[in-house]
Structure 1
Amino acid sequence: MTLSNDLMELKEDKIREKYKFAEAMLEGFDHTPRIAAKREPDRVEERSTGLGTRRRFRSTTPGLVTRSTARPEGVRLSERILESDEDVLTTPLQASVLRALRRALSVAQVASDQFAEQTGLDNLKRSNLSGTLDASQKVRFQDLLSASALIALHVFANMTDFLLSGLTVELGETDLQCGEVEEVLLDNDHLALHGALWELDQEIAAANVSTDAQLIGLITSFCEQLMEKVTLRADGKSALAPFSAARYRVEADDFEITGFTPAARARSTSLAMAFKKPEEVVGNHIAKYQAMKLSKMLMAYDFERKLNPFAELGGFIFTFMGDGKPGTGKTTLIQMMAGLINDYCHAAGYAFRYENLSTESIDSYQGKSAQNAKAFIRNVMEPNVIGFGTIDDIDQLAGKRGDRQSSAGQLEITAVLMESFAGANTVVRGNCTFGMFSNYPENVDDALRQRAGARFLVDGPQSREDYIDILHRLMGKNHSIPVGDHDLCEAHAIKKAVAASYDRHSRPQEDALLNVFDKVRERIGDLDTIAKLGAYLKAIQEADDRFTGRAIKNITDAIKVRAMDFELPDEWMENPELFLFRDYDTKKAMIADLAQPITVEMVIQEINRYADSEFRYADKSDEAAIENAVREMQRMEEAKRRFMEAKRP
């Protein structure tokens, strides 16, 4: 397999040179815990002579101390793992675990060494050992040591989880979880790994492990928690920039290191939702059509290049907002889109990950809501899966800045979503999309709402034909009532319905925007040049100052989507060899051949579609504010009346 240009290989000979170091760590070393307390088992079983004793039953409330006074104790992780099963002989899975740990420790050291060479940390270490380190370099030296420790810990946990995840799939899930990971030391990479192995040894010793499945489940649980802790510590550290910006690959294991992103073998989430077929979605023609297109767009993602041709050519929808009244079909749209992606991924053998950020993510502890939101984003954006993330009722989940009713947790979620959807470090690979849904989008923070690149108006059935179709579908088959003068689902000839929906936006739908549109046309004539279209955009901005440069970007992105106004053929999804399994450049060329030129009509329709939604939100928001003010005035008047009555003798 050839590496892409931005992928650097960690050499196999360098990794194997570290085997002796890794084996020595697994066989035994001394470590005095500094953050975590020693785990004590609830009881010790009596063992026959010659077999020794093993600690069982992990305590559920491990102690916390700021500085341990425990004596150094020998950490012999290899021995601990071999004792974790009743079988006297080493099992094949125990051997696999030890090999995975040795491999992960070796790769962690190579990655740490490469970082030291890139940043000059190796030279600073030599100067420090010789006593010639300049005082002005001490702060940088310590920062780089901490960064090196974080890299070693994350790569170790990441690769161990990656190598064991295949075994986890074979053995099945286990409910055995490790306690909270605490011994995260940042003095240097060696001490950091010692602390992690000591704590893993403690967890295995204190847990009631009786099978290989439980052993592997406990270790993967530990690795996932360690990665989460390290990622939080690494957030915002400038010294880590060289590592975070690079991508590394271990060819023999098909393992990639992409900053602090977990690289466990792509595992799908198990979905319990009831999927819907496209024909079960009545009305919502544009939203339905765009959801169907987007589902196929995601499948064009190239796992080797870690990029989607649509993201490079333009037209990929990374974030979208679906809004409409209650009962108009937002949940049905989610079920349809998730079902389509799930079926496509199943046919191609890709992992599909669906997650919803719910109100349960809001936590009263400071910073915890932000952690939950970051974990949601990280899981969906994982580059080895096809991801679909939804945020239902986002007006309840994400707080509106300046609104006194927004909790601290809601505002934390707003900040995370804004940074993740259009932040300085946001990377759109094209493997995932995020949908925000709301019955009251006017209550969503303006800046967050504008980070939705596309707008799906979920307005439910509209025409007479729509209502006949939905009634017939929901009635089921337990009747003999004739349909009458109507061709069922004739209006659902999707191209025809979408074309009619787009045509409606040749003129604005909102009265305030229609007034702007007519005045501009009276003044400058038909909007048939870039200059006239720009004048129309400026007039919209003068009518609503929330119509900023980000709005223009969203409109141009939507126009590019229209240029890609085609559905990838169904046979490309059903037979992956035709398209999905082709190389990146071939897929890109095949997509480019289907694109169509941008027209003036497309531009006007997309300007009106986007601006209509903003004017609709603004009208609702203003009306809600006026109603609240009126209620407050009425309350004050009533309070004054009662107060005056109470004062009367």
Structure 2
Amino acid sequence: MNAPRDEMELKEEAIREHYAAAANLLSGLDHTPRLAKAEAVAAPSERSPGIGTRPRFRSTTPGLVTRSTARPEGVRLIERIEAVGGDDPITSPAQAAVMQSLRRALAIALAVGEMFSAQTGLSELKKANLEGRLPDARRAEFSELLAAEALVTLSVFANATAFLLAPHATEQTVEIGTVEEVLTDNAQLALHGALWELDQDIAVFGTDEARMVASVLAYAEQLTENVRLRAETAPRLGAFTGANYRIEADDFPIAGFAPSRKARGTALVMAFKKPEEVVGNHIAKYQAMRLAKMLMAYDFERKLNPFAELGGFIFTFMGDGKPGTGKTTLIQMMAGLLDGYCRVAEYPFRYQNLSIENVDSYQGKSGQNAKAFIRNVMDPAVIGFGTIDDIDQIAGKRGDRQSSAGQQEITAVLMESFSGANTVVRGNCSFGMFSNYPENVDDALRQRAGARFLVDGPQTREDYIDILALLLGKNHSIPLGDHDLYAAQEIKRAVAESFERHSRPLEDGLENVFDRVRDEIGELDTMAKLGTYLKAIQAADERFTGRAIKNITDAVKVRAMDFELPDEWMEEPELFLFKDYETKKAMIGELRRPITVEMVVQEINRYADSEFRYADKSDEAAIENAVREMRRMEEAKRRYLEGKAP
């Protein structure tokens, strides 16, 4: 990726020249805290007798003589990081990621500080001061430039740390309080103070690796904001704020004191589909389109989506249907919509698919792959869309002897992530599970899908004409005939008709329950009658539990949000996306519809239909397997008896 024309590239060689100095800073330095008070113990002691500590880094700023009468404290960040998580002598991936990110961030900060010093003439003033020939008339300028360089160096260090470490963030968060040891005498002292306070925060808050990463990120964000506020009134910063830089290797932009995006999206290589290219599947298409716009309402400052607070947000959904009915096309459509919306708003978008390749033969590796997938999609600094295609092959049924240990690990991770004690639904991401054989998915995992998308493909004569015309393209002269092309795909009309079909159940087993209950108590028009219907469904299918009721009520709330966010809100972000959280919430609240009995009955039938459909298929598959096994035993018995005959 080449830097835009208004950005200057910071050469990699200039950064790597500072790797040794950055490593020394992390290995050991002495610092006397001036503004903050120590809350943690000193740097970790030696790991074992005979192994000395790393040398402490005592640097001097050219042209300056620094004195301190207080007792300095040793800061050894590498040892502090290595001590997190126990006595394991092998550095873990998380520890390595933190150390590498900090070294890289320090090197970038030193390189930018050096560039700033050269551009402003500070380098010459340092040299003159060192040689004792700095004119008195320029001492005030010298002090102001030193303070400016300190602010620049601190800002770049904090910004780069947050940017580089963001891909390793988890759902864990830490509140570290206000950053205090922000010194602006000179750049070197400023970094010493920053590393001293970071060491303190890791010691106090970084009790495990996840909290250590969270502590470093929290510190970097707090330092960025503190420095930005100071820079608003500081002089002589024009050389830094007037130019934009980019580090090509990291794709890291530096635009003054503004924080860079704390997370990066993924460059999608996918054949996107437009909504009109999805024929049939009206409800699934409509809900996917609405969900894409719902995700865009996420507020990066509050780390919350108004839809998640008001109700009606689809965090997980199950898309099922026969092979060839359009599940992949639906994924391509939704990913394409999100990618386009995020490009307009300049939001980071991340799409990931958990595939059969993530099932590993090594114990624990499949679970790690699934956790990494969940963590990347749920990253609160991105808009995320995660898919699990052919989930019946990837996640095994508990108790199924044919499921591998890796498949069982993935099932456990998905169940905990989708509806576990620590699951936080912020509204920045959604997960779609797709299967041709949902009856083979673990019952408890399947019920963690809050919404059901029946992907049944083209159904009507009009659908088949539309899909034929679409796939043939334009390289023919065959007349269309008596048909209004794509009129049947007009989404609002098609969806209304599709929902109306669920006023009665579609599955035979559920239809019997529905008719029996209505014969006994009449129309389902009160809470009591609706509850009676739900209990009758549970009596017919014991898997219809309280979680099913929650999924139904969530689906009803989605129907209450049954409105399209205007396309212009996505095309012109200032109209909605860039509004503050409370304004967006109020704008959405004005569009919300009241819940009706018809909505509730339709959503009960839609959900229960899917469960009866899965149960019928599962039972039929079990019967077929039993019959096949009986036939095998009969054949084996016949051959055995024939072999014993004289």
Within a 5 Å distance, the mapping from 1:239-638 to structure 2 comes to 248=218, 250-253=221-224, 265-638=262-635
Q: Deviations over 1:594-626 (max 9, x none)?
A: 000000000000000000000000000000000
In structure 2, give the amino acid aligned to 1:251. Answer: Q
Determine the C-alpha separation between the residues in 1 that align with 2:311 and 2:520: 33
How far 1:225 sits from its partner (Å)? 10
Q: CA deviation at 1:238?
A: 9.5
RMSD: 4.1
Closer, same or farther: CA 376–562 of 1 in aligned 2, 3 Å: same
Counterpart Cα distance in 2 of 1:359 and 1:598? 40
The partner residue of 1:643 within 620, 635, 640 is 640
C-alpha separation between the residues in 2 aligned to 1:447 and 1:506?
27
Give the C-alpha shift of residue 645 in structure 1: 1.2
Is the 1:276–1:339 contact (alpha carbons within 8 Å) kept by the matching residues of 2?
Answer: yes
Change (3 A) 1:152 1:502: closer
Provide the rounded CA distance (Å) in 2 between the counterparts of 1:482 and 1:331. 30
Paired with 1:493 and 1:271, the residues of 2 have a C-alpha distance of 28
SS of residue matched to 1:497: helix
> What is the rounded CA distance, in whole Å, between the counterparts of 2:493 and 2:108 in structure 1?
47
Deviation at residue 567 of structure 1 after TM alignment: 1.1
Deviation digits for residues 243-264 of structure 1, max 9, x if unmatched? 8999946334259xxxxxxx98
Deviations 1:254-299 (A, max 9, x none): 59xxxxxxx9821111111110011100000000000000000000
SS in 2 for 1:607: helix
Gap runs ≥5 in structure 1: 1-20, 30-66, 80-103, 113-140, 171-218, 232-236, 256-262
Q: Conserved in 1, the CA contact under 8 Å of 2:166 and 2:263?
A: no
- The separation in 1 between residues aligned to 2:353 and 2:58, in whole angstroms, is 40
- What's the CA shift for 1:633? 0.4
Amino acid in structure 2 at the alignment position of 1:442: E
Distance 2:336 2:96 in 1: 34
Check conservation: 2:94, 2:213, Cα contact below 8 A.
Answer: no
TM-score under structure 2 length normalisation = 0.67
What is the aligned partner in structure 2 of residue 160 from structure 1? 102
Q: In 1, distance between residues paired with 2:166 and 2:58?
A: 21
Report how many residues are paired: 475
User: Is 1:157–1:223's contact at 8 Å kept on the other side of the alignment?
Assistant: no
Distance change (3 Å), C-alpha of 1:617 and 1:244:
farther
CA displacement 1:100-128 (0-9 Å, x = unmatched)? xxxx988998x99xxxxxxxxxxxxxxxx
Q: Partners of 2:103 and 2:483 in 1: how far apart?
A: 58
Closer, same or farther in 2 for the Cα pair 1:166/1:544, shift >3 Å? farther
- Secondary structure at 2:595's aligned position in 1? coil
Q: Distance in 2 between matches of 1:391 and 1:165?
A: 40
**Any conservation in 1 of the 2:320–2:327 contact (CA below 8 Å)?**
yes
SS state of the match for residue 510, structure 2? helix
Computing the radius of gyration from Cα coordinates, the structure with the larger value is 2
Instruction: Indicate if the aligned counterparts of 2:279 and 2:457 stay in contact, CA closer than 8 A.
Output: yes
Q: Does structure 2 conserve the Cα–Cα contact (< 8 Å) formed by 1:158 and 1:227?
A: no
What do the CA deviations read for 1:619-647 (whole angstroms, capped 9, x no partner)?
Answer: 00000000000000000111111111111
Of stretches 638-647 and 366-375 in structure 1, the one that deviates more from structure 2 is 638-647
- Within a 5 Å distance, the mapping from 1:51-62 to structure 2 comes to none
Name the aligned partner's letter for residue 352 of structure 1.
F
Counterpart CA distance in 2 for 1:427 and 1:384 is 14
TM-superposed CA distance for 1:239, in Å, is 8.1
Partner SS state of residue 631, structure 2: helix
Q: 1:412 to 1:638 in 2, by over 3 A?
A: same
SS in 1 for 2:387: strand
> Quick one: percent identity of the two aligned structures?
70
Check 1:153–1:615 CA distance in 2 against 1; reply closer, same or farther (3 A cut).
same
DSSP 3-state at the match of 1:388: strand
Counterpart residue identity of residue 640, structure 1: K
Length-normalised TM-score, structure 1: 0.66
Give the Cα–Cα distance (whole angstroms) in 1 for the partners of residues 93 and 367 of structure 2.
23
**Is the CA contact (8 Å cut-off) linking 1:358 and 1:392 kept in structure 2?**
yes
C-alpha contact 1:161 1:264 (8 A) present in aligned 2: no
Match of residue 38 from structure 1: none
Counting only pairs closer than 5 Å after superposition, residues 3-42 of structure 1 correspond to structure 2 as 25-26=25-26
Q: Deviations over 1:439-498 (max 9, x none)?
A: 000000000000000000000000111000000111111111111111001111110000
Cα deviation, 1:151-194, whole Å, max 9, x if unaligned, reads 99599459639958999xx9xxxxxxxxxxxxxxxxxxxxxxxx
Is the contact made by 1:165 and 1:265 (CA closer than 8 Å) also made in structure 2? no
Letter in 1 for 2:534: L
State the shift of 1:26 in Å: 3.6
**8 Å contact from structure 2 (residues 395, 441) kept in 1:** yes
1:330-383: CA deviation from partner (whole Å, max 9, x where unpaired): 000000000000000000000000000011111111111100000000000000
CA distance in 1, matches of 2:604, 2:483: 35
